[in-house]
Amino acid sequence: ANWTRAAAMPKETKDIRSFLRMAYAKNAKYVKIKKCKNGVKFKLRLSRYLYTLAQDDPTKIKKIRQSLPPGTFTITIHTLSVLEMLPISLNICLAVVITFTESGSNLGLEKKDV
């Protein structure tokens, strides 16, 4: 029979140790680090699932970033709040900075849309 695989929903984890254990797995593809106004979301892409970990404690965020495997492809996304995106003249202005790093070094790929 022809079976189609349904898209799996992302799974949220609250345990830092299990998240880091999954980051060291062989099938870990990349980690997205999304910086928001109220904290940081770590999104770990494995071959089958996407796992997310949300943190708002700056010391834990720093320790998690340092504990990520050195060979993991990391994408850092900085977002601005809606009020910061709207200038006084009410023209819509979007500023997003995306930084790609691999093996702890910056590859120099930065995108800035202003």
With helix as H, strand as E and coil as C, how does 37-89 read? CCEEEEEEEECCCEEEEEECCHHHHHHHHHHCCCCCEEEEEECCCHHHHCCCC
Would the pTM count as exceeding 0.75? no
Task: Note whether residue 96 is domain-resident.
Answer: yes
Task: Note whether residue 107 is domain-resident.
Answer: yes
Nearest CA to 40 among 59, 24, 27, 15? 59
Separation of CA 51 from chain center: 10
The end-to-end CA distance of the chain, in Å, is: 51
Task: Note whether residue 6 is domain-resident.
Answer: no
Which residue numbers in the chain have pLDDT < 50?
82-83, 88-96, 103-114
Residue 93 is part of a domain; what is its CATH number? Answer: 3.30.720.90
pLDDT at position 87 is: 53
Task: Note whether residue 90 is domain-resident.
Answer: yes
> What's the domain range around 93?
11-112
Task: Note whether residue 73 is domain-resident.
Answer: yes
pLDDT at position 66 is: 92
Task: Note whether residue 1 is domain-resident.
Answer: no
> How many structural domains is the chain composed of?
1
